[in-house]
Amino acid sequence: MFHAQVLTLFPEFFDSPLACSIPKRAIEAGIVAVDAIQIRDFATDRHSKVDDSPYGGGPGMLMKPGPVVAAIREARQRQPGTHVVMLTPSGSRFTQAKALEYTEKSSITLLCGRYEGFDERICDYVDEEISLGDYVLSGGEPAALCVLDSVIRLLPEVLGSPESAVLDSFSEEGILDWPHYTRPEEFEGKRVPDVLLSGNHAKIEQWRKSQAASRSRQRDVKGKGHDE
């Protein structure tokens, strides 16, 4: 079984997304287990303080190293060999390739911060720093949820059809997916491309590949799978 742990001040954040759809089925089938560890449980002072103001001044609060590092140690003890990932906008960009890489591990631990970020020294206790993109979320939780979801759906036996994970966007050399159509044949004057109704499978495949390639060019998927 694949084990995921989230280190967070808001364990309830994950409850309803993991109780729906593919993650729900994967958990029920015993393919994945997701455990939350409450960082505040590792605070040592009377007020269970987990944040403090930055040295040198400036706005906002930072996660203190003490409780966070104690929570990381607990996570490593619960799942020896777990890969600890800090979610932070200053990390390296999360990609489909990363999601696939994580499925090869026995366990990942996702560290979510609140406030303006983490005390820099916490970075020495994690294996990797990951960002979802160049924007700032109110905390690491939404980012951790995206990482979890993208990893869970790639675990062997999670998706009904093993082909769908292989065929979707990004899986093939970073090329975006082709356009899809379902019934009706015409919707508000917009017709399904004739080639898809032709029954000519070679032509359909050719059309899909060329559509995917031109989409990748247009949307500037970095560097892969298409001519510059």
Catalytic residue set: 89, 116, 153, 168
Smallest gap from Cβ 10 to ligand ADE, in A, equals: 13
Q: Which is nearer to ligand ADE, 2 or 115 (CB)?
A: 115
The helix-helix angle for 141-152 and 96-103 (nearest 10°) equals 70
Stretch 105-164 residues interacting with ligand ADE (CB under 6 A): 131-133, 135-137, 140, 143
Going residue by residue from 73 to 92, which x/- string records binding to ligand ADE, judged by CB under 6 A?
--------------xxx---
Distance CA(86)–CA(64), nearest Å, equals: 14
Count of CA atoms in the C-beta half-sphere (13 A) of 200: 8
Q: Tell me the CA end-to-end span of the chain in Å, nearest whole number.
A: 42
Contact (Cβ atoms closer than 8 angstroms) between residue 73 and residue 41: no
The residue type of 58 is: G
Least distance (Å) between residue 141 CB and ligand ADE: 8
Cβ neighbours for 49, distance < 8 A, ≥ 6 positions apart = 43, 64
Which of residues 133 and 193 has its CB atom nearest to ligand ADE in the complex?
A: 133
Residue 32 main-chain phi, psi, to 5 deg: -140, 150
Rounded least distance, CB 131 to ligand ADE, Å? 4
> How far is residue 22 from each of residues 16, 148, 159, measured CA to CA in Å?
12, 11, 8
62 vs 87, which CB is nearer to ligand ADE?
87
Min separation Cβ 94 and ligand ADE, Å: 8
Choose between 97 and 136: whose C-beta lies nearer to ligand ADE.
Answer: 136
Binding site for ligand ADE (CB under 6 A): 87-89, 131-133, 135-137, 140, 143
